[in-house]
Every structure is written in structure tokens, then in C-alpha cells.
Structure 1
Amino acid sequence: MVNADPRHTHGHLDFFRCVCGPRAVLTDPQAQAPYLEERRGRFSGTAMAVVLPGSTAEVAAVVQYAHAQGIAMVPQGGHTGLCGGAVPDASGRQIILNLRRMRDILSIDTLEGTVTVQAGCRLADLQQAVEAKGWYFPLSLASAGECQIGGNLATNAGGHNVLRYGNVRELCRGLEVVLADGRVWSDLSGLPKNNSGYDLKQLFIGSEGTLGVITTAVLRLVRQPRQQLVALVPVPDIATALRLFGAINDEMGEALTAFELMSDFSMMLVARHFPEVVASLPLNSAWSVLVELSRPGTAEDLLSSFSGALDRSIGRTEMNDAVVARDLVQGSRLWAIRNAIPDAQRREGPSIKHDISLPRGQIAGFISELYPLGIGDGVANRP
């Protein structure tokens, strides 16, 4: 799609204001500023307008008009991405389409175990709403307070709990999408079994807005875990971390929710910029593993199984230094370390981000090849 002729800008803006309302079309540079720059400051651009539709019908009208007029659009969610994909170019002829006004939770179906939600809803708001009903939406991201469901789906987000629950693709039961020409495709039945033809929603999940703009989703819920264990385990090397992973997987694989491997460098950055987060925790190991387990049964059973896996896989020193949360509050504090790493990196200065998937057996060799190059000081999650 080519950029629009700037001579017609006022007419375009008038149309967008007519559809979405005058306050939902941002042209003032100060009002636009939060939408124009990636959060680390590495990518920035300018836009004809930031358009904030309030319904699927408004999205469809804006997209149909932009398609007809040759106006390039940049779909944008919570703007938490670090790849520059949600940032406009420098021409000033593109529009940003942000769905933050579309943030309603439309229904929570406790019989089906699903939630129907608009794409602009923040992940944390969705999680709080379903937890109040005794359910749990297991997508877990450090940016939960800012990221939006539409962006999670458009990027096929994985998050901390991908080991147990899969990417968000596995949590999606239905979508409503505005296509590139403004037509609306909708399948919000939410049925767990549907063999009536192509599963078209899968085309849009992970497409990053290139095939259409997600406006509504039906998402699968699970029951809240009855027992949960969170622990921070220091390990001397990646091989030991993989042995620990294997022991936990053998002993209680159905309970393994998250397994995050963090380098001493990333922990040092957190200590430097957020010292209160790591206060009183052991930071003298080359690597640290953050483990989360959850399953029915007693807390004692969970702790006993975890202790057995530790005993079989790591040294006595590391086992003695392991920190096991006694309750949900302490568990949240351990997770705060992992979640603080991106902000600590941002405060430290420019960094290069990669989200790389490897077979477990290749992780140690891959990182050992990168380290001599000065690359790889960060988080190796979900081995």
C-alpha cells in the first residue's frame, strides 16, 4: 500500500474524525509522541494521525477508507514490542491504528471456560477479571500491565508459561478480524471442536497485522492452580540447568509451568538499577534458574517432589542456596527479578533483542559460541 498524497491530508482527517470522533484522532505532536517511538528509543517515526477506533465497525470504516485512498496503516497494540514493527516511518503519511479504546471484556463463560474480549484490553486486566471468577488465563508476560490482547495474538506471544500451556495460538478459540480492504471476518463461536473447514483464525495469529486487524477474541481459560511453588536456583553452568530441567520434567512434568535461565550479567543489571528487587538474594552464581510448578495436591507433596529433583540434578551447594517461596507474595517477588530484566537493560543503554527457539540439546553450544563474541548476556527461557 502506497503512502497517501499529502495534499489530501485534511480530507482524510475529517473522515477519520467523522467515523471515530474528534477526540479519537490525534494530530498534535505531544499527543502523538507515546505512539511514535519504540520504548527503548531505537526506532521512531512520524504519522499523519493516530486513530483510536472504538468498535469493530469503526475499525472497518477506517481500514476500508485507507485501503481506497492508498493510506498506509500501522496497526499498534500496547506498543511494548522491541522490534520497531509498530512504529511508522518518517514520511508522516501513514496512520497508526491503535485499539486501546476497545478494551471491554464482553463475556466470561464459566461453562465453556472461555472469555470473549476486545483486542485493546490489557492482558493484566483480563487476568484480574477471570481470576475473580475462579479461572486463570495462563499467558504470562512481563509487560502484562501494558500489552494488549490483540498484540499478543498478532505476535503469537509465548510468555513464561509456554512450557505448559503453549503459545497464545493454543489458547485462542475464535477471532473477529477486519481484513485489509475493510471487510469483517468473524468466527467467535468458541467451540473446542470445529471440523467444518479451514481454521482461518490461525492465519491471523502471528501475522503481526499484515493480513488484518484483530478486533475481538475468544480465549480459553483454565482453572486456577490449587498449589504453586516458585523457586530461584543458582547453577554453575547451562549443563547443570538442563539436568535440573530433565529431573523436574521426569519427576513432575505435568506440573512444570515455567523454567527461566538467567545469566549473572542480567542479574547484575537488575541489582544495579533495581537493587530492592534482589535484596538478600544470592547473586554469586554464573546462572540462575527461576522455576514455577503448579498442580492439584498439597504444598508438601509439591515441595517434596521438587526437592527430590534438585537432589538428583545439582550440587549440594546450589541446592542449599536455592530460594523457595513460602507463599504467593514471595513467589511474586522472585518473578519480579525476571520481569525487571528488560527495564534494567533499557536503563543500561542500547541492546540487541532476539527471541530464538532451539532444541534443548543445542542451547549450551549455541550460547558458548555467542559469549566470546560479547553476545548472549541475558535470559535463556523455556529450554
Structure 2
Amino acid sequence: MLAGKRILLIIGGGIAAFKSLDLIRRLRERGATVTPVLTTAAEEFVTPLSASALAAQKVYRDLFDLTDEAEMGHIELSRSADLVVVAPATADLMGKMAGGLANDLASTLLMATDKRVLIAPAMNVRMWLHPATQRNIALLKEDGVLFAGPTEGDMACGEFGPGRMAEPLEIVAAVEAALADGPLKGKRIIVTSGPTHEPIDPVRYIANRSSGAQGTALARSLAALGAEVVFVTGPADVAPPDGVVVEKVQTAKQMLDAVQAALPADAAVFAAAVADWHVTNAADSKIKKTKSGLPMLEFAENPDILATVSQMKTGRPGLVVGFAAETDDVVAHATAKRARKGCDWIVANDVSPETGIMGGSENAVTLISDDGADSWPRMGKDQVANRLAQLIGEALK
């Protein structure tokens, strides 16, 4: 899939830089040409010789190299690539990118490029969670920078948590998604996934039984067809796919806000299992058992995300797809839901306990549209996602 693609790989200074050498090898195995750029700090962890040997390319290090800069080499480097990848992307590099600084070769290349940029962050958990880093992340996402990771795990510093650099094959998958040249190239698609958690108190919540597996598979399939995917996910069991913009939320209100912030879009697919109600008198501290009896919970309806987007007067996506998880009279209930919400398609499935679908690895869906109800055979969720992504591609031509 990467045959003939040119990757400009900027290696930042951090212990995770050792993974960049394996990343070079993995990219080359798939036919890509990799041109490495090392920051001064990166040379403390990997040598120019090792990067050059694995890439079979010259390694670039100095902004003021007389030979390279005689013909504005940093401009040429930044423009000749198909994709710029930063791995590891340190807190310092991310800060420079967000602030528009360009005081070394790496940051200058990132400012001068007219190509998409994919970063694989790597840093200490406290640095990742620091408000400054979180502000920079938000700015970079607004600028269209793609993220691969980070993941959670043990770190060289002895701490555990988010900030661990994605593994090389995970970054390769993100690169492939970013460079996908399929029927959805140039299309922006919002996908919601997972459950929402509506708090009762700080330790209890209301939720639906959703793993997020189907929404994750669909986001991955859409990205593989070239779409720019904004993946809005509740607290799902499965990890978000690589190569998409991930927005993590907890409640239905937060999910609606994230969806509205992601508009405009060519299509929106609402695969999340959103809780219908929230507790209006949620407690600020844990509710204790008392002799006075059971606590009285007061409920209110959550915002209807599917209906809100489907019935937008301006800025409505060209294709709005809803999901209907039903336990009886699946087609009838889903057909009525489509009419009530105003969406274009409904993907209906039977999630009664005996099917094993909710939280399982397979799905059996019926696609309801203007053309009627089309029932698909039971298949893996990845297969369902691939088939639905292809249909979305055809509809958005």
C-alpha cells in the first residue's frame, strides 16, 4: 500500500527514538522511501549512521548545512514528501509546532511543509497530562495534524500511564490510513462510538452495554478508503483506531458538543450507544446506604444527537447514518426510528441476549434506507464495517 510513497521521518529526542529505527524498517518493507531527519536531542539516543543504514538514505541534521541549503534544501525536503511523520514527537517538538516556532531543521521543516503531518507523541505521563501539552494537542488537532497514539503503559522513567509512544506497526497503520487513496479521499466523516457514562455519583453511572467494537471497525474502514475521520468515542472497551482524529467523551452532552465542534462534514455515522437519560440530581460524593431507604434518582432525557444533526437546517452532512440496537421487532422499530429522527440510513441489529452481538465479535444488521430494508448475513464486525464503508463511499461520489 505504501509502494512509491515518500515519508519524511523526523525523529525527536527521547528514549522512544529507538522505535524509530524499527519504524524505518517497517515502512521500507511496504515499499516506502524514508528520509530521516534527526534533532540534536535525537542523536543522544540513535546515531545518524544507524538511521541512514536502515533508510538507505542520507540523514539530515543541520538547518545551516551549506551544501544542503545552497538550494533551500529544507524547503525541498518539506515539499517532496507525501507525508511528514514525527516519531517520537516530544513535548518540546509539539510545543514548537503549536506555537509556530522554527529554530532548527525539524521545526522549520514542519513550518515549511505543504503536506499532511502525522505525529506519534512520546513523553512522561505528567508531561502528557500537563495543561500546556493538552492545549498544544487541541491546537494541533485544529490545524489538522494527525495523531498515532500515545498509548498507556510502563515507561522508562518507571511510571505508568498515557504518553507511551505507539508501536511501529501501529504507526505504520496510521501512515497507511493517512495516505489511503480510495473513494473517500478528501471526504470528512464523523463517527461516534462506544457507550456514554451518565454519573449517579463519582463512582456510579448509567451506561449501555457497548464495547465500541463496531464503531471502531467502521472508523478504521472509512480511513482505509481515504476519509479524514473524526472519531468521537465514549469510554469503550476497545482502543481507538490509528490514523483518525480521536475525541474522547464521557456523557451524551459531551458527545453532542464534540460532534458539533467537528462539523462541517460530508457524512456522520452515529454508532455510539448513547444513554437515553441522565440523572439530574447526581451526587457530588458517593451515595451511602442509610436506614432511611433507597436514594431517589431524578431523570431527564439526554440530547438526541442523531435527530439534532439529521434535522439541521444548515450545515447538515450530506449523509447521516444512525444505528438502532433493538431486542424485538427490529426492522419495524428501526424503520420508525429513521422516520422520526430524519436520518438517511439506519443500521439496525438485534441485540437481544441470545444473539451475543452486544459486546461480541460478530454482527447481523439490516440497512434501512429509501430503497427499503436490506438484511445482511451474520458476519464479523470488521466485515460489516468494510461493507458499510464501501456503500458510504458510493453514496458520497
Q: What TM-score do the two structures reach when normalised by structure 2? A: 0.29
Which protein has the bigger helix share? 1
Higher RCO, Cα 8 Å, sep 6+ = 1
